[in-house]
Chain A
């Protein structure tokens, strides 16, 4: 019933090798990934990112080729919804070799933590990325509490 030390060692050796291979595999996978038809890579819509600063949140959304008029941003309480549609800018009368970008309407929504000052939200569209600045209301900002 005693397992030989040599055998156990071999088992762990194999596990180590498997783990290294998996690490490399996942590394390579991360390094280069297919953006594909950008708007539908993530099934819910375009890629987004959320950053938190001391007194504001910043949301960024990848929306290449979309004009200001095609975007719709609504904020209701702390529920934020971003919708838009991209019209295809294909020239008429050309033969299509490849069409990966797709033409679609998209929608992403977020429930933000409490305390967004809805009056002071700013949005800017630059180089195909939408930047949303959502300042926190007074209540939500971190406060130092002095010990009396």
Chain B
């Protein structure tokens, strides 16, 4: 009497996340000139200690965790504790040693200088 198809019974056993923290993708602005690449990412409410910036093998990953203290009875909450996470491919020509990061007013500013070898050079033609 109770005939259920196998398909209807199977639950998907996806990999569960370790923490229940929501993730969000921060808005970024990316600028480039011949010396460096500049990246600004909006991460309101994130403090310096909670940000991690990693460059590995041509991939730049940003992560910022925001934890706000709970106060009182939430009547209306459009934002909460969240992890801002985003990754980018960066060209191999970035000089990793000289990368600088600054966090101010909830905006993470990254400066990625290009290595000397990558800067555009005029190639002189010698007359033989």
Residues of A within 8 A of B (CB): 5-6, 9-10, 13-14, 16-17, 20, 24, 30-38, 42, 47-54, 56-58, 60, 62-67, 89-91, 93-102, 125, 127-129
Contact = CB atoms under 8 A, between A and B. Distances in A.
Nearest to A30: B22
B44 A38 contact: yes
B28 interface: yes
B59 interface: no
A51 B71 contact: yes
A49 B76 contact: yes
B124 interface: no
Please provide the 9 A-B residue pairs with the shortest distance between their CB atoms, ordered closest to farther: A128-B106, A53-B72, A128-B44, A64-B106, A94-B31, A97-B30, A47-B78, A64-B44, A51-B72
Given A52-B73, A64-B44, A64-B106, A33 B29 contact: no
A97 B31 contact: yes
Contacts of A14: 8
B74 A128 contact: no
A90 B31 contact: yes
Interface in B11-60: 11-12, 14, 17, 22-33, 38, 40, 42-47
B5 interface: yes
Contacts of A34: 24-25
Given A91-B38, A95-B32, A99-B29, A35 B72 contact: no
A64 B5 contact: no
Contact of B73 (A6, A51, A65, A100): A51
28 contacts: A9-B1, A9-B2, A13-B5, A17-B8, A31-B23, A32-B23, A35-B24, A49-B79, A50-B77, A51-B75, A52-B72, A53-B72, A56-B72, A62-B44, A64-B43, A65-B40, A65-B106, A90-B29, A91-B33, A91-B38, A93-B33, A100-B29, A127-B45, A127-B46, A127-B105, A127-B106, A128-B44, A128-B105
Contacts, number: 151
Contacts of B77: 49-50
A5 B73 CA distance: 48
Given A14-B8, A91-B38, A96-B30, 16 more contacts: A6-B1, A31-B22, A33-B22, A36-B27, A37-B27, A50-B75, A51-B71, A53-B72, A56-B72, A64-B107, A65-B40, A90-B31, A99-B29, A101-B28, A101-B42, A129-B45
B3 A64 contact: no
A49 B44 contact: no
